[in-house]
A and B are shown apart, each in its own frame.
Chain A
Amino acid sequence: MLDQIANFIKTTGFVNITIQQLIMIAISCILIYLAVVKKYEPLLLVPISFGMLLANIPLANLMQKGGFLYWIYQGVELDIYPPLIFLGVGAMTDFGPLIAYPKSLLLGAAAQFGVFTTFLGATLLGFNFKEAASIGIIGGADGPTAIFLSSKLAPHLLGAIAVSAYSYMALVPIIQPPIMRLLTTKKERMVSMEQLRPVSKTEKIIFPIIVTVLASFLVPPATALIGCLMLGNLFRECGVVERLSKTAQNELINIITIFLGTTVGATASAENFLRIQTIEILFLGLAAFAMGTAGGVLLGKLMYVLSGGKVNPLIGSAGVSAVPMAARVSQVVAQEEKPGNFILMHAMGPNVAGVIGTAIVAGVLLSMYGG
């Protein structure tokens, strides 16, 4: 009887836990706290942090072949979940502001500057090109794209990259405003922009088809992301498949979010996460966000000059995806200077352009380093 009890105790987690696993459980509890109490991207951070907790339960082996999470994780490894998330995002996104003001696409492109400066920084810190590309994409402020790229180029860094990307996306209202104020003058921040023109239904239906063809022809590895994003948007805009649109916006994206978040969190086992590289990734992620914001604002300033003062440069910072948080930040900073100034819809243009831009960047990086 005593032997049986002793044997049972040996099989419990209390006896087999390591210090590293304890630290990881503590980190996951902190992330759960941030998600639940501070509301930092709770829809993703709750499953990610709980997945992290599950992955560090001693002897549970949920992520080893045959384990429960291993099979669900195949959707990440085979790049199924990120495009499906994009399907839902597309169904929820109104590209009207972008169609009404096409120049905002350039701001979405300029904000990708953060991806490449961080790529450079990561390389200089000793990461190889594949790892640097995966870290750099954090600057796109687009969680599914970051997961899509890093699961292909650097799966061992996936947990750290996902945590970094989603944490900083939640911190956009804190990270961006100082940079925006630093790079713009009061006069520039006070610019009121002309009202956007109405966009016809025909334009909204043709838009996803054109984007899919153009982007996919140019960067074929981005087809899954762009194609699903635009398919979701076509569901929304065509008006004849309302059921599909609703499913993509609600049930589908919610189910995939649970699978994606939990399994990506579960990749953050102690041996993968508790490394100096994780701290470097967190710092590089912050730099990526800052540089992306700066890139967008600086192009916004250029457009301000070229347009004769008609463009408020603050909309440039919304070029980092983080929809719609980054656009709201532009609006808040603009209103601080001039109450009654409404640039939210103008900022939504670069904001959704950033999603397209980041997907194209991911395709470019996959073309270069995915082989």
Chain B
Amino acid sequence: MNSIMQDLIGSLKTGLLGMGIVMVALYLLSLILDLMRHMFYPQARQVKKNESIAKPEIAEHDVDMDVQTIQDSADMQNSSELVAVIAAALSEYIQKPITNIKIGYIRRIHKTTPEWGMAARYENVHNNL
């Protein structure tokens, strides 16, 4: 009985100490990563600042900035990831399960596309393709 109690107390001590160390270590790491975000991702601060200054006018600017950031990101070079992201966004936008959407092809829409062309595309999306 005594040895069981000793084992129990020993195990609980190990558990508390172990979980404590892991929690503290990973929490410290998360703080460092937060700090890194402020140092190396100034866009976040910029976007927040812009949002607080002029919300209605800034919407389009934000999109441009995000697009630029995405282009810069090495992750987005992976076309299969890009397709997954676009499919997910589309599914969320038209509120339709992704299994019910068929994507034939995806191509970048250039600025040269006239407004009426863009409007047609938006209308297509609204009509669930």
Give chain A's interface residues, CB within 8 Å of chain B: 94, 96, 98-99, 102-103, 105-106, 108-110, 112-113, 115-117, 119-120, 123-124, 129, 132-133, 192, 197-203, 206-207, 210-211, 214-215, 218-219, 339-340, 342, 353, 356-357, 360-361, 364-365, 368
Is B58 an interface residue when CB atoms closer than 8 A count as contact? no
**Contact partner of A219 among B21, B33, B37, B69, CB < 8 A?**
B21
Asked if residues A124 and B7 are in contact (CB atoms below 8 Å), the reply is yes
For window 11-51 of B, CB contacts with A under 8 Å fall at 11-12, 14-15, 17-19, 21-23, 25-34, 36-37, 40-41, 44
B8 to chain A, nearest CB (A): 7
Total contacts A-B at CB 8 Å? 136
Count of chain B residues with a beta carbon within 8 Å of a chain A beta carbon: 45
Q: Known contacts A96-B75, A206-B36: does B18 contact A129 (CB below 8 Å)?
A: no
**Contact partner of B40 among A112, A132, A200, A218, CB < 8 A?**
A200
Bitwise, B48-77 to A at CB < 8 A (1) or not (0) is 000000000000000000000110111110
Point out which of A113, A197, A361 has the most chain B C-beta atoms below 10 A from its C-beta.
A197
Asked if residues B18 and A197 are in contact (CB atoms below 8 Å), the reply is no
Cα of A262 to Cα of B24 in the assembled complex, Å: 37
Is B121 an interface residue when CB atoms closer than 8 A count as contact? no
Secondary structure of the B side of the interface? helix
Asked if residues B12 and A120 are in contact (CB atoms below 8 Å), the reply is yes
Interface segment, B94-102, B103-111, B112-120? B94-102
Cross-chain pairs A/B with CB under 8 angstroms, 8 sampled: A102-B33, A102-B37, A124-B11, A197-B41, A199-B41, A203-B36, A206-B36, A218-B25
Cα of A290 to Cα of B66 in the assembled complex, Å: 40
| Residue of B whose beta carbon sits closest to that of A104 | B30
Q: Known contacts A215-B25, A340-B91: does B98 contact A119 (CB below 8 Å)?
A: no
Asked if residues A198 and B14 are in contact (CB atoms below 8 Å), the reply is no
Asked if residues A203 and B40 are in contact (CB atoms below 8 Å), the reply is yes
Asked if residues A123 and B21 are in contact (CB atoms below 8 Å), the reply is no
In the complex, chain B residues whose CB is within 8 Å of the CB of A116: 11, 14-15, 18-19
Is B88 an interface residue when CB atoms closer than 8 A count as contact? yes
Q: Known contacts A106-B26, A357-B22: does B91 contact A364 (CB below 8 Å)?
A: no
A49 to chain B, nearest CB (A): 32
B32 to chain A, nearest CB (A): 6
B5 to chain A, nearest CB (A): 11
Asked if residues A123 and B8 are in contact (CB atoms below 8 Å), the reply is yes
A59 to chain B, nearest CB (A): 41
Asked if residues A198 and B15 are in contact (CB atoms below 8 Å), the reply is no
Bitwise, B73-98 to A at CB < 8 A (1) or not (0) is 11110000000100010011001111
In the complex, chain B residues whose CB is within 8 Å of the CB of A203: 36-37, 40-41
Q: Known contacts A112-B18, A339-B97: does B44 contact A197 (CB below 8 Å)?
A: yes
Asked if residues B26 and A353 are in contact (CB atoms below 8 Å), the reply is yes
**Contact partner of A360 among B22, B76, B84, B88, CB < 8 A?**
B22
In the complex, chain A residues whose CB is within 8 Å of the CB of B30: 102-103, 105-106
Q: Known contacts A99-B36, A342-B88: does B14 contact A109 (CB below 8 Å)?
A: no
Cα of A7 to Cα of B62 in the assembled complex, Å: 86
Asked if residues A368 and B41 are in contact (CB atoms below 8 Å), the reply is no
